[in-house]
Amino acid sequence: MHIHPDALAVAGAFAPDQPAILNRPHAAARAARFFVEKFPGRSLYAVKANPSPELLRVLWDAGITHYDVASIAEVRMARAALPEATLCFMHPVKTPSAIIEAYRDHGVRVFSLDSIEELEKIRDATTAANGGILPEDLTLCVRLRVSSEGSELSLASKFGCDLTGAGELLQATRQVADSLGVCFHVGSQSMSPHAYVQALERVRAAIVDAAVTVDIIDVGGGFPSIYPGMEPPPLEDYFGVIDRTYESLPVSYSAELWCEPGRALCAEYNSMIVRVERRRGTELFINDGAYGALFDAAHVGWRFPVRLLRDSAANEDGETETQDFSFWGPTCDDMDHMEGPFALPADIKAGDFIEIGMLGAYGAAMKTAFNGFGATEVFEVSDEPMSSQYRGDRRDPRVSDNVVSLR
């Protein structure tokens, strides 16, 4: 694949009729190296955030060896892309046939659960896959329900056992598992490192109540990226409080610390070029939307960074007058609307191209073909993403511009 310098070069050379996905493998590799080098444990990439086989290989080459898969389709795809990777089936509710295939055909030995029923299902399915003998190589992670306070998207309702029942479930799982883990998820785009401290204190209470030996603590995902209006603390802050709290937990002397970043590893991997098909006041009709890569912008009000792809968007005085716009997607559905606001030059018009950044997490993964739309072109570019946690040049959001730091 030819590597283009940036989005403007792609728009100028190709003027794509369809939305164009821009891949930045160097950004994803940098994010992976950051986690490999700085997280005080093992990092599992959450494949659901962006299941591109090309991305998985980029992350593998950068040192990510373990992958959180959440369906048998993800198991198959990840195994085909990465024959030597360790796959961890971390969806707490699975079909027996999926468990059997994952264990027997794809070498999966790590499973999560949040109920006695799921434990029995895993036990029976893996026994069937192992010739009628209960396997002695299972790693089972009990998912604990924790608060999603401080996260932009809650994950506190659907999965996870309550603290009141965790002791019994941990004891039962210990009887089946060769290696026992406790996992949780504080919610997507967690804006506070303290969320992990609170969750780990619940883990502590569950372990003490169960009085079992625990071999893995998995703090899940939730590690944030940078978006307009969302400036999280540096990731080092998250890693530091997790490490300090983990070190005081009553776990095995050889226990491992895991995490499952999705967004944090792939958000900077993709952006997208869209074309303005019509302007109606402060409303722009574009050729991607709620049923494409902008699902989050439409349905949860997520604001993504945007910029106009035009050689001369400035006024004569060198400044650009901007205006807030909303977007309409290409389908016939009124729900195909992205309220924003998205700040763009006030003179934007039909035929202009816009780059929408930070779509690597869930954007490309959630595109559909509804209403006959959904086709995209793909290009690789070498410039930097619109925001980055990893370049080393980010202003610390905790430090006010009018405060002098004495070091």
Which are the catalytic amino acids?
Answer: 332
DSSP conformation letters of 324-376:
EEEEE-SSS-TT-EEEEEEEEETT--TT-EEEE---TTTTGGG---GGG----
Tell me which amino acid residue 136 is: E
CA distance 145 to 159: 7
Distances 379 to 7, 23, 28, 32, 352 between C-alpha atoms, Å: 9, 6, 15, 21, 19
Give me the helix-helix angle, 53-61 and 25-38, nearest 10°.
Answer: 50
Q: Report the DSSP pairing between strands 179-183 and 151-153.
A: unpaired
- Which helix (DSSP H) or strand (DSSP E) does residue 322 occupy? strand 322-328
* DSSP code for 133: S
- What sign does the CA torsion over 31, 37, 43, 44 have? positive
Spatial CA neighbour of 288 closest among 16, 45, 78, 13: 16
Count of CB atoms situated within 10 Å of the CB of 204:
18
From the number of C-beta atoms within 10 Å of its C-beta (0-12, 13-18, 19+), residue 76 rates as: middle
Pair 98, 122: CB distance under 8 Å: no
For residue 63, give every residue at least 6 positions away whose Cβ sits within 8 Å of its Cβ, in sequence order, or none.
32, 33, 36
Which candidate, 315, 395, 330, 317, places its Cα nearest to that of 368? 330
Q: Cα(270)–Cα(274) distance, rounded to whole angstroms?
A: 13
Q: Collapsing DSSP states into helix, strand and coil, what is residue 296?
A: helix
User: In this structure, is the dihedral angle defined by the CA atoms of residues 394, 395, 399 and 403, taken in order, positive or negative?
Assistant: positive
* Residues 6+ away with beta carbon under 8 Å from 204: 248, 249, 250
Of 231, 229, 353, 359, residue with least CA distance to 294: 359
